[in-house]
Amino acid sequence: MEREARAFWIRSPGKSEIRTTALPAPGPDDVLVRTAFSGVSRGTETLVFRGAVPASQHELMRAPFQEGEFPGPVKYGYLNAGVVEQGPSGLLGRSVFCLYPHQTRYVVPADAVRPVPDGVPLERAVLAGTVETAVNALWDAAPLVGDRIAVVGGGMVGCAVAGVLAGFPGAAVQLVDIDPSRADIAARFGARFASPDTAEGDCDLVVHASATEAGLARSLELLAPDGEVVELSWYGDRRVGVPLGEYFHSRRLTVRGSQVGTLPARRARRGFAARTALALRLLAAPAFDALITGESAFEDLPEVMAALAAGELPALCHRIRY
């Protein structure tokens, strides 16, 4: 059996390449997976590509199967969908999702992969990590039936949050972004779209995912008294100002962080495996295909990543085909 694979590596900030790597022999509790598709999580992965991960966050930002260290050389990524070529009988031949970097084939423990449900195309399954982030955010936010909710920032994560929230009973959900093209995505999920200027206020909950200071300020402005902003943005090494004047104290507003690597205390009993399985079930909805806004061949990934980081290639999730 072939014992080599090809993997995407960041050599140093802004420089990347495809490398050949040796594969270990799978043990009795391992699986060998052939990658069919991977996804570039544009916000986080371009931040890593630019070398903008703060030194204080090097350990916290590690991907589950990362090799190397920030800022480089490093093999980084976490949206991978493929087929099990070798492993336990219950997984052999199954389509699976794994939090693995961009690599043609890989060996991991069998409990690191999650079977893709029959109703979810493998092409869409690369979104499982992003929808998992949305699930965790809503476990943190704990919306109530009938809440008025705004999602500020229509990037990959913000759109995934809006997509999950749109199915919440009685909730009035609006996706807020400066890009009017996001209106089509909101409509596919059954959510309302608004620009920052036209967004409806008096919200019980705002999920902020724009990674901008202006977006965070607008999120606070949209809250009703005793409302809460759940902050999903990852700012890397940038400092941002939080407007704590005006209505912040008089309305008793709250800003709280949500981090996908940590489970909320009351949901910890469900575990990461259960969260990923839930994300995969949610991906049975075809509307999530709207989050995939481009596709390229694996061999072109160094050029694609540079273009994404430079803003020359706009994308939510850019899918990589193997």
Summarize pLDDT for 219-275 with one digit per residue, the tens.
999 999 999 999 999 887 788 888 898 889 999 999 999 866 666 655 666 777 888
> How many CB atoms lie under 10 A from the CB of residue 241?
8
Which residues are registered as beta bridge partners of 82?
35, 96
Nearest to 171 by CA among 149, 203, 140: 149
Read off the amino acid at residue 243. P
In the sheet with 148-152, reading across from the earlier edge strand, the strands are 192-194, 172-176, 148-152, 203-208, 223-231, 254-257
Question: Looking at residue 120, what DSSP letter applies?
Answer: S
Mean pLDDT of 9-35: 97
How many Cα atoms sit within 13 Å of 178 on the Cβ side? Answer: 7
pTM of the model: 0.90
pLDDT band at 8 (very low <50, low <70, confident <90, very high): very high
Contact 57, 128 (CB under 8 A): no
The two three-digit tokens of residue 234, written as one number: 């990852």
Which domains, ranges and CATH numbers included, belong to the chain?
4-127+283-321 (3.90.180.10), 130-257 (3.40.50.720)
Does the pLDDT at position 89 exceed 70? Answer: yes
Contact between 256 and 228 under an 8 Å Cβ cutoff? The reply is: yes
Residue 145: predicted pLDDT? 94
> Per-residue pLDDT tens for 137-184?
999 899 999 999 999 999 999 999 999 999 899 999 999 999 999 999
Evaluate whether 40 touches 79 at the Cβ level (below 8 Å): yes
b (16+ CB within 10 A) / e for 70-97? bbbbbbbbbbbbbbbebbeeebeebbbb
